[in-house]
Amino acid sequence: MRVIVVGAGVLGTMHAWHAIQRGHEVVHIEREDEARGASVRNFGLVWVGGRADGPELTAALRARALWEEIGTRVPELGFRANGSLTVFGTPEEREVARAATERLDADVRGYELLTPDRVRELNPALRGSAVLGALWCRRDAAVEPRTAQRALRAELLRSGRYTFLGGREVREVAGGAVASVRDDRGEWHEADTAVLCTGAWLGGLVRELAPELPVRRVRLQMMQTEPLGEQLTTSVADGDSFRYYPAYDGPALDTMAAARPQSPTAAAHRAQLLLVQRRDGSLTVGDTHEYATPFGFDVDEDPYDHLSAVCEGILGRPLPRVRRRWAGVYAQCLDSGEVVRRQRVADGVCLVTGPGGRGMTCSPAIAEDTANEWGW
């Protein structure tokens, strides 16, 4: 088959990957010279532990296996099965972690409740007095988000069946026996099928094709430091992360929320600490959640101050100098039970959008499901 993929973020790139692996020819179109959206503005987390029961967890587990398989073939992805520690600092947070380890699927998720000594044995960089223990999630992993798409694209080019067209915005789509896409240079591209992975771009052509799309945009703030100077052997989250992942819902979380409300800054910005070390030793720190549009064009210092303080309390040392700060926007399905939105917008043309914060984690499995459903 000949397949057109629109959008070179991680979701689009994974669709191109699966098409090439199945022997097809791919034309990959991206409106920027290369991806610049949420796919490069994230932690690179392959985050299995907190996923909801059912399709979301199934997708995350399958994606985790695929990330490892692809990472073996493409070492430049920087895949590492480092797991994560969700550190707790209060008795109420400890109870949420303990309840998680009593789930029937705790082994599948790789949960284990750790004492402070065991936390420091596993990750010696966590020397802060705020660490009363942690929930260890063995299944979690990480890749390098700023370079992952480029590394995958370089591997795809080796097939001889992959063409990348950057700096071209799609202006028109026509379905039928042949799926046709017109770019802003006036060139038409034809294929047996086309997949639109447009990320947070929900206006323009996307609105014309799917005017009632049940997807919203979410904005987050993050930052990156200079190298830490020592190895962070796992990814790290704080107790506020329990509030944002469905796997931790239940009576223990209700008790925690009632007894220990978030700080005013954390609550205002819906903040949780996620901390990942990059291959150069620097730290990616975040994040926040903003839903009300229009989004600001600048970043707010208050959540950075809050997250820095939480991070330093866990590390037991000052953060290295901040190298850069940024904001990102991703598309999220309004139905929290929907892992991704697949919508036929014309004969032979599918729009795939809305994975939300699950995009980096689940994209290999989402793309595989699309390939299976569309008979690739």
Question: What DSSP letter does each residue of 18-48 carry, written as one string?
Answer: HHHHTT-EEEEEESSSS--STTTSS--EE--
Q: What is the pLDDT of residue 312?
A: 97
Torsion of CA 278, 162, 35, 60, to 10 degrees: -60
Q: Which residue bears the tokens 């940024």?
A: 326
Token pair in block for residue 160? 């001889």
CA gap 46, 60 in Å, rounded:
8
Hey, which residues does 329 pair with through a beta bridge? 219
Binned average pLDDT, 10 residues per bin, the chain of 376 residues: 97 98 98 91 95 96 98 97 97 98 96 98 96 97 95 97 97 95 97 97 95 96 98 98 96 96 96 97 97 94 97 97 96 95 96 95 98 94
CA gap 17, 13 in Å, rounded:
6
- Confirm if 91 and 79 have CB atoms less than 8 A apart: no
Token pair in block for residue 19? 């098409």
CA gap 24, 2 in Å, rounded:
6
Residue of 278, 272, 261, 289 whose CA lies nearest to 237: 272
All structural domains of the chain = 1-81+143-214+338-376 (3.50.50.60), 84-138+215-333 (3.30.9.10)
CA gap 113, 335 in Å, rounded:
31
Q: What is the pLDDT of residue 376?
A: 92
Q: What is the pLDDT of residue 211?
A: 95
- Confirm if 176 and 295 have CB atoms less than 8 A apart: no
- Confirm if 5 and 12 have CB atoms less than 8 A apart: yes
Collect all residues with Cβ–Cβ distance below 8 Å to 323 and sequence separation of at least 6.
223, 224, 225, 226, 282
57: alpha, beta or left, given left = phi > 0 and alpha = psi -120 to 50?
Answer: alpha
